[in-house]
Structure 1
């Protein structure tokens, strides 16, 4: 019988409210869920490659370690050195090689990390297929654990002409907030507002550029910074439409949360997003295309029948949304099989 003890190597600050991200939220839910299922989880925050490598060296032979993929990229050499001595499971939130501008060094580190892992847990079927397609991981070593959704109480019908747009996610080039602002600039002022929720810290120069660009909308676009808990839930209740203009996306946790709150979505058809919105309640547009996004947003704003249809579809889709208990169970099975 497997020893139900696991060391979870995560990025520094995953519990820091100022560093809210989909990856940090996922890690916390898995950590807490495994503990609730009888696993003894020792969480170690790795500030850098040296810290992660030191932790790996200090673990006894045969120990099970779950490594967040971001940490794994920093410490690929340390993971490779520990292969065979430790039972290594990599939790991959993304495929680094899929990002525009990924360097040769990053792609080499990613390949080294995956080659050393006994098992790889991914957060979407798209990621699993992408890893196989790129020859990074064989399919039999991959387990899929999609993010769960906290389904809110049944939403009310609400006003039919609300035009409050919401965009949730770290303010970063791969999330495409610049594409959203470019699209909004093409739409006549029709009473709409847009709130951009997310941390500006990890990609400061990009976030500053987005903030400057937002000023041209005379207060109709507001950047709230990080919100969590009741504040974030209030934004989902307030928002009439979630906009996800990502250039790269493995699954789209904000999209799933919006669907849990009964909020329709306009999103880029990229990565795992089409899988996340399966079941209806969404309009997909090509990634990085502000004109196509503007057309989709304009249709939402001017077509009451479209708004009604998408609201009806997203409410019906809430019944089959994945749960966090299912996510934790999938990760636990991967740990047991590694």
Structure 2
């Protein structure tokens, strides 16, 4: 089995998509007979003409029995270069970019995404929610889907909940889809005392949005309470998990919600909006909050922070559920032959 992984050097590191794609590539490298990578220097916001031309030449040289695996964000930009390929193509579909565009106030190009997925022989999805979206909105045949939910690392249990910590943590890039201005409104309604809220995530992806977010925080008089930490190193993030007593999220949509699963693995209670796939897989392990009622959202947070014993029980539930989530080895077991089967059909893969 010959697998080629196309990635970009500028994919946002430590984002859920980057972590997933990196772990997937490692699993494919271990399982394929031959594994190589093609790296494009810059893909965001777009792949340049010269790089696209170089990629086209590289695609033309790939043997017909190759399977090219790449994030659908890259595939969507390379539809002309991939149209006449002789090899198989598998896209990693984390979530729809049309949802991201709508959150950013940009008119979405659903047709480009539809063409992207239509030309793929296989589509790798991270949740039942994303699978249903690909089928329902883009007409992807279920037989072409490869469902592989994100895995989880073994992590120490956080000490914050047992210490009745009043530290709140949110993890994710500061982009419109994460709805951080809404969380600031929620924070302004909190009645609990002595809380502190840290938001960890890339502050460079959308500078205008970050500037507006800082203005919202300042306008609410919460600059001393809400800290935008930016992208931080793994050790510093581990410290944040350890001392946090509550994890909060309000994303407009998540194709899975890896930060939520990480919170549960650490035993940190979670309050979140339904956020697309999160409500489906996390179920009663999280406390669901409304996405349009900041006062009600704040009351749920107050209820956790003001009940030390309850916070401990919620931590126990979170940790038990988080411990049941699969590791990366389990979620990517046999992922290479599964992709090949979706691309080539079960009869062809069995013969191979």
Provide the TM-score with structure 2 as the length reference: 0.86
Superposed displacement of residue 49, structure 1: 6.0
1:201 and 1:57 map into 2 onto residues whose CA distance is 35
Of 260, 263, 266, the residue aligned with 1:261 is 266
Aligned to 1:212: 215
Of 327, 334, 337, the residue aligned with 2:338 is 334
**Structure 1 gap ranges (5+):** none
Aligned to 1:67: 70
Equivalent positions of 1:90-105 (< 5 A) are 90-99=91-100, 101=102
2:119 and 2:65 map into 1 onto residues whose CA distance is 14
CA, structure 1 residues 286+40, in 2 after alignment: closer, same or farther (shift >3 Å)? farther
* SS of corresponding position for 2:37: strand
1:288 and 1:7 map into 2 onto residues whose CA distance is 44
CA, structure 1 residues 232+138, in 2 after alignment: closer, same or farther (shift >3 Å)? same
Superposed displacement of residue 101, structure 1: 2.1
**Structure 2 gap ranges (5+):** 344-352
Asked whether the equivalents of residues 166 and 194 of structure 2 are also in contact (C-alpha less than 8 Å), the reply is yes
Of 123, 126, 135, the residue aligned with 1:123 is 126
CA, structure 1 residues 56+140, in 2 after alignment: closer, same or farther (shift >3 Å)? same
Deviates more, 1:321-330 or 1:236-245: 321-330
Of 284, 287, 294, the residue aligned with 1:290 is 294
Asked whether the equivalents of residues 173 and 202 of structure 2 are also in contact (C-alpha less than 8 Å), the reply is yes
Aligned to 2:276: 271
Aligned to 1:132: 135
Aligned to 2:191: 188
1:157 and 1:210 map into 2 onto residues whose CA distance is 27
Asked whether the equivalents of residues 49 and 71 of structure 1 are also in contact (C-alpha less than 8 Å), the reply is no
Q: CA offsets per residue over residues 152-204 of structure 1, 9 Å max, x none?
A: 13445754531100000111110111111111011135110000000011111
Q: Quick check: 1:229 aligned with 2:229?
A: no
Equivalent positions of 1:1-338 (< 5 A) are 3=1, 5-14=2-11, 19-46=13-40, 47=42, 48=47, 50=49, 51-52=51-52, 53-54=55-56, 55-82=58-85, 85-99=86-100, 101=102, 106-156=109-159, 159-188=162-191, 190-215=193-218, 216-278=221-283, 280-329=284-333, 331-337=335-341, 338=343
Aligned to 2:349: none
2:311 and 2:285 map into 1 onto residues whose CA distance is 9
Between Structure 1 and Structure 2, how many residues are aligned?
329
2:125 and 2:263 map into 1 onto residues whose CA distance is 21
2:174 and 2:160 map into 1 onto residues whose CA distance is 30
2:304 and 2:79 map into 1 onto residues whose CA distance is 45
* SS of corresponding position for 1:332: helix
* SS of corresponding position for 2:333: helix
Superposed displacement of residue 100, structure 1: 5.7
Asked whether the equivalents of residues 62 and 87 of structure 1 are also in contact (C-alpha less than 8 Å), the reply is yes
Q: CA offsets per residue over residues 251-291 of structure 1, 9 Å max, x none?
A: 1111111111111111110211113423x431112335433
CA, structure 1 residues 152+116, in 2 after alignment: closer, same or farther (shift >3 Å)? same
* SS of corresponding position for 1:101: helix
Deviates more, 1:207-216 or 1:184-193: 207-216
Provide the TM-score with structure 1 as the length reference: 0.89
* Divergent runs of 4+, >6 A: 102-105
Asked whether the equivalents of residues 49 and 74 of structure 1 are also in contact (C-alpha less than 8 Å), the reply is no
